[in-house]
Structures are given as structure tokens and as C-alpha cells.
Structure 1
């Protein structure tokens, strides 16, 4: 599959350190490649000015879901004893962390933090993002009934927390949502306090991207195994509808979601949010539903050649939607966080257009929530939506590329 300039740039932008380096100002411009080891090591000795103040004075809040329904959440530690870790040869098992969001019986309970101070510090060089507020309650009792499941995979180098706004909204719609940290591809904190950093963030060629895609597909399959296994489940009382499972992700996480569906017949629909494909599509085609939602990816444009090739092998229901005024980071929390902090003007001009485009982060999030929700409502719950059939006046930012 051909290499596109978009992957080279996206790989850099997908590393959280790149975003914070940009926020830190011109004196800490983007490095040639994401750093190995703790991303914070590449930051200047002082934290970015935009994040160095007192976050308690006006901490950002995850935008409220579009559906007013209580949401609970819990973090879970997973160990795949049948698999060696692909990035650490001396590890006999593959350890993962995930967050589960789910419809809750009530809004009572302790509010969960957006991210721990330790992870915020390791990723961004400051604990400030641990002050971001959520609307989710920890370990509150799940709503009764069997819930359809959506598994989320973040961008390369990103924590699972970068998909919090999407996860909260999907959970408020009635889904159980599980977002994975792919160990040694980002900073991960385990229940014993241990913090593991990215071991492969300095390798961003196409060969490594294909390896990451296949490895993440296995991570997703293992998480589905655990969530659908008999017994009390990862969260007591949370019941999963095994016949209604979807997957989605941002950047390489989106390509991994589609690859996971190719490998795993339990996944009924998959959505790719602005991620290039690195694993060749199956010759026989992929007949289950796929949503491609990207930024500056109009059909026929040079950066979309990667999608054009895969598009031909999608033989089932499919849509290709474009956010022409958006950027690569418009489909995760970074865009609305940057706008909330008022620091987008500190992003170097040479990277700002591809990172954020010109659309507001709140509008990009609203559109992503609407189209992603409509996609899974249609294909997991059989609730047709006109939103997926033609351009909508409610979301003029979104174009139908195909």
C-alpha cells in the first residue's frame, strides 16, 4: 500500500508530546520524530505556559453528552496470558488497561478524574490535565438490560482518555463503551501505581504501523473476550449484548478498528476517524458496515489515495464523510481541550492547519458525536437515521465525499 505524506505528519501529531510542544510555543518546535521513553523528557524544563497556571481556577470540563442519561465508569486491568507482548520480548504476557463507560441507574457517586496526575505528568510534563472535569460517576450501578458494546482505540501515542468525550456520549446513548490503552504505545498506569511509557514511539514507518494495526486488533479481540465471558463480568452488573458489538478509533486506532472487524466476526460495524490504512484490505472484500470520517480527505485528493484503495474493497454498507475545515486532531479530545484552554494561537502555523484546521473544537466534536452515534444506532440497533443519507443543515461542516 502506498505511503502518503499524511501518515508521516499524522504520526508526529498523534504523539501527545507533539501537541504540548506546539502549545509550549515556537521555542520548542516539533522534533523530527516522537521521542522514545517518557514523552515528558522532550518537553522544556518548565511546563507549557498555557497549562502551568492554577487549573483549579477554571478547569476545562468534558462537553456534556447530547443525551441526558447518567453515565458510570470503571478502569480495569487485563492480562492476556496466552500472548507475549509484541513490544517487550521479555514480557511473557500482554498487560492492558481499559476504561468502561456505561449507562448508569443514577447520577450519584464520586466523579471520576479525567486522567491521573501521574499520567498527565508523564504525557504532558505537568499534572494540570488531571483537573479536567468529567460528568461520570465511578462504579455506580449499571442500568439494567443488555447493552450493545463499542470498543475504542486511540491514536498512536495517545492515552485512552483522549476519547473520553466520544465515550461519554455513546454511553449516554445506551452503549457500553470500552477504550483501550495499548501498552508501550503510550503512557499507561497500572493499579499498583506502575507507569509504563512508550517503547516504540520513535518508530513510525509503514512497516511498524502495520505491526501496530495487527497488534491492536488482537488487543481489541481480547477485550471483547473478557467483556463477553460468562460470569460476573469486569464491572459487576454490566451485561453485554454479544450480538451487537462495534469498534471505532482515531488515527491508527481507526484503521485498527477496521482490521479488528476483519479478524473478528463478532464485530458488526467499524468506524475509522481519520486513520490511514497500513494492512492491505482482504482480496475477498469486507462486507460489514464501515464509516470513514476524516478531515481534508475529499475524494480524489492526493492525501486520500490510501483511503481510495481500501474503499474499493469495502463491499458492504459504507460512507466516506469529510470535515474539510477540520484537522487530524478534531476527532479526539485534544481539539476541544486546546480551544478550552485558549491556546490554539500558540500552535506553530506550519502544523496548525493539519492539526486543527479552522473549525471550532466544539463543532468538530458535535459532528463526530452525531455521525458516529448515527452509524452505530443504524447498524447495531437498527435505527435508521437520515443523517447518514444526505448532507445535513444541522452539520454544514460535514461533506459527503462518497
Structure 2
């Protein structure tokens, strides 16, 4: 073997490896054979569009020195927000179905593949609007599997990049505490204007009939937006929002009482944060004004479960609130998209394998995503579309493992059949679904 051949073969092999990484599909639209019924994509072609918004004259939390005297007036700035919008598009539209997104390390850009066609012409009218709010840190693509799936079923979905809270802009936590709910409501208002004004998206969706989905800190924000007020103790945390700026969300305050928007009819919160650190109590959570679905892993070590998400659900207001639990699942239960291929590396800077941001030690991510797609579809269809048939998918025995499969030869259920609706025989395992609160 010549020196040339010795050098060339490793280079060719390295090029092949590099090429395979560059060509990674990183699909967000995986549908496993055991996916529950309502996880399936709808019949609509989906489009996707990037929007840029600016919320003027917002408190500039990053410009406030917690160790100095409180500035008067508080510094302000124009707060930029990038939004990714998925929507029903002209049937049969074709084009680019990839998205570029950064990984948890904030440096590596990857390609994601789905079914939504970039900048496709919208089609139809009057669809419900859903807002999506990521965790800290996160980005607008973290729940893209759910956004695209819902859009195929007749929703317009706006997913927010929260400034100071994305992988590339992560900054002082106080900014997230104060701004998360404000961002959600600002984007709702901007989307409402876009639908009302003349233009390509006029009339496409009904912003008066809106839902909200939040993950982790997005779930924290969703609780505030829904009417849950934070505790006085949390307003005073030295490590939280400086100089009492979180007081605008204090339970019982005039500013918080004026915050909830009647256009938002329901919300879904994946692993909502804050109960474990004293941001919520029974008084604040009693202020929730809309039905909420909480989704959690029973081994969540970030928001916690018994003293975290489950305690939020138990103390929420007397409305129909659901709790879906992935038994033995962690903080990532249901929400994050499958880990991109390029994320499987250890980051010395972050101190962990980047793929851990997306994965769970016990549950397969695509499986968790399919279950979440099923339940969120049933929940949103019931609350935003008034679809009573979909509500029946939420009328379940609490423990999925206890369900009995008992069918007649003609496929109709026998009297003792209690298996979770929408799940094929043997596929409803390791889940709990509970409901509290009075009927609407």
C-alpha cells in the first residue's frame, strides 16, 4: 500500500462520516406502529413561516443591577421575539420541508425534517390558534413535533423564541420569570392583529379561540397566563427577578388580576416549574381561570412530581383539570422532539451529553411524543372545537395498566372492556390519567 493510499482512505472515511452528519434527517414527524389513534397526522397540508415581532417599552431586566439601588424609572427596551408559525396550507403544496435549529449547546446548527412546507400559501379560515412556549433554555423548535402535528388537524400554531431564554440568548433567570407570560400574551395580540388586518393570513385563524402549550418554564408562564399568581415569597427571592419586578404576577395584585386574556380558553403544561421552589401555593393556583391539562413524568428531577407538578394539579382551581403521568418518566416526558443525531456528544462547557436535553432514561422519545400528540389533540379538540367525540378519549380509568381488553368478534367492546380508548391492545402501558374539578 503506497503512502498516497494510506492517507486517502482515512480522509475518504472521514468525509463519509462528515457527510452522514450533515445529511442527518432528524425527523420530527415519526409515527411509531404503537402510536395511539389521535397521534396520527391529519389530512391537511402544513405550511410553516418565520415571523419577527418586537414588544416595545418592556422592562429591561438585564440592565438592572440587583446589588444596587432600585432604578427609578426602571430601564426599558424594545423586546424582540422570533415566532415560528405552522398552519394549514394549500392542499398538495410542495417545497422545502426542513428547518434549521440550534442544539442545546447554543453553537451547533442542525437540520430538522418534517412535513411542513416552508412559506406555503395558507388555506382555509377560522382555525383555532395555539401558542407554544419552550423551557429555559429552549427554542421555538423544541416542540415542533407537536406544532406540526396539530397544524395538520386544523390549527394555527405559533411557537415563540423567548429572548434571554433560548440556547443562544440564555441570560439572567429573572428575565424569564418576569417575561414568560408577557411574551405569550404579546404574541397572542400580534397574531390577532395579523388575522384581522388585510393580508395573506387574514381570517385564517380565530385569535378569540386560542389555546396555550408550555413546557417547563413555558408551563410556569402558562399558569400565570391562566390566572395563577405567584407567592409573595418568590417575589422577594434574591436569585429571582431583581427589586421585586416579579410583583406584577403576584397573586391578588391589580396587575396580575388584569393579566389573563379571555381569548385563551385552555392550556396544556408539560412539567411546569415552580412549585418545588415556592413560586406557587394553594391561594395563587386557585386563581387559574381555564381548564388545564398537566403532563408530567413521575421521576421529574427538575420540576419534581409529588411536590411539584402533581401538587400544582392538586391545588389548581375547581375546574376540570387533567393530569397525564408517564410512570418513571423524567422532566422530558412528552415535550421535546427526538434528539438530533448531532446532539450525541459530551460538551465540556455544559458538563453533560447534549442529547440528554431531549431524551429520557426510560421512555423512547418518539413514543412519548406520540402519546402527547394523542392527548393534546383530544384536549384541544374538546376545548377549542367543542368536539364531544374527542372528549370521550379522555374518559379513562386512571391506571392504564389496569385496563381490560374485552372485545366481541365483530370488533365492538364487551361490557367489561375498559382499555384506554385510542390505544391498540397491549399498547397502553406505564401511564396514569386523572381528572379533578367540577364539570363546566
* Distance (Å, rounded) in 1 between the aligned partners of 2:311 and 2:143: 27
1:215 aligns with 2:179: yes
More helix by share: 1
2:59 to 84, 109, 120: 84
Q: Which has the larger radius of gyration?
A: 2
| Structure 1 position 292, deviation (Å) | 0.6
Partner of 2:333: 330
Q: Is the 8 A contact 1:258 1:271 kept in 2?
A: no
Q: For each residue in 1:333-386, what CA deviation from the matched residue of structure 2 results, as whole angstroms up to 9, or x when unmatched?
A: 34x225x6795999989x969950312111101001001111111111111332
Q: Is the 8 A contact 1:249 1:273 kept in 2?
A: yes
SS in 1 for 2:128: strand
2:373 to 362, 366, 369: 369
SS in 2 for 1:271: strand
Partner of 1:388: 394
Q: 1:296 to 1:266 in 2, by over 3 A?
A: same
* TM alignment of 1:2-401, pairs within 5 A: 54-63=20-29, 66-88=41-63, 92-116=77-101, 119=102, 123-127=105-109, 129-130=110-111, 132-187=112-167, 197-200=169-172, 203=173, 208=174, 212-229=176-193, 230-232=196-198, 236-237=201-202, 239-262=204-227, 263-277=260-274, 279-280=279-280, 282=284, 284-296=286-298, 303-310=305-312, 311-334=314-337, 336-337=338-339, 356-384=360-388, 385-390=391-396, 391=400, 392=420, 393-394=423-424, 395-401=428-434
List gaps (5 residues or longer) in structure 2.
1-16, 31-39, 65-74, 228-259, 401-419, 436-440
| Structure 1 position 149, deviation (Å) | 0.5
Q: 1:212 to 1:199 in 2, by over 3 A?
A: closer
For normalisation by structure 1, the TM-score amounts to 0.71
Q: 1:94 to 1:268 in 2, by over 3 A?
A: same
Q: For each residue in 1:88-137, what CA deviation from the matched residue of structure 2 results, as whole angstroms up to 9, or x when unmatched?
A: 56662111110110111223243243225xx45x845433x22x222111
Q: Is the 8 A contact 2:299 2:329 kept in 1?
A: no
SS in 1 for 2:21: coil
* Distance (Å, rounded) in 2 between the aligned partners of 1:329 and 1:112: 25
Q: Is the 8 A contact 2:334 2:371 kept in 1?
A: no
* Distance (Å, rounded) in 2 between the aligned partners of 1:327 and 1:341: 22
* Distance (Å, rounded) in 2 between the aligned partners of 1:87 and 1:348: 27
Q: Is the 8 A contact 1:155 1:252 kept in 2?
A: yes
SS in 2 for 1:92: strand
Q: For each residue in 1:125-153, what CA deviation from the matched residue of structure 2 results, as whole angstroms up to 9, or x when unmatched?
A: 433x22x2221112212122111011000
Q: Is the 8 A contact 1:98 1:181 kept in 2?
A: yes
* Distance (Å, rounded) in 1 between the aligned partners of 2:18 and 2:107: 10
Q: Once superposed, which parts of structure 1, at least 4 consecutive aligned residues long, lie more than 4 Å away?
A: 88-91, 340-349, 351-355
* Distance (Å, rounded) in 1 between the aligned partners of 2:286 and 2:329: 33
Deviates more, 1:159-168 or 1:211-220: 211-220
* Distance (Å, rounded) in 2 between the aligned partners of 1:342 and 1:228: 36
Q: 1:345 to 1:91 in 2, by over 3 A?
A: closer
Q: Is the 8 A contact 2:164 2:170 kept in 1?
A: yes
Q: 1:77 to 1:342 in 2, by over 3 A?
A: closer
* Distance (Å, rounded) in 1 between the aligned partners of 2:59 and 2:80: 9
* Distance (Å, rounded) in 1 between the aligned partners of 2:131 and 2:212: 5
Q: 1:113 to 1:88 in 2, by over 3 A?
A: farther
* Distance (Å, rounded) in 1 between the aligned partners of 2:325 and 2:345: 22
Q: Is the 8 A contact 1:111 1:134 kept in 2?
A: no
Q: Is the 8 A contact 1:142 1:237 kept in 2?
A: no
| Structure 1 position 71, deviation (Å) | 0.3
Q: Is the 8 A contact 2:296 2:326 kept in 1?
A: yes
- Output the aligned Cα RMSD: 3.3
Q: Is the 8 A contact 2:297 2:305 kept in 1?
A: no
Number of residue-to-residue matches in the alignment: 325
Q: 1:396 to 1:386 in 2, by over 3 A?
A: farther
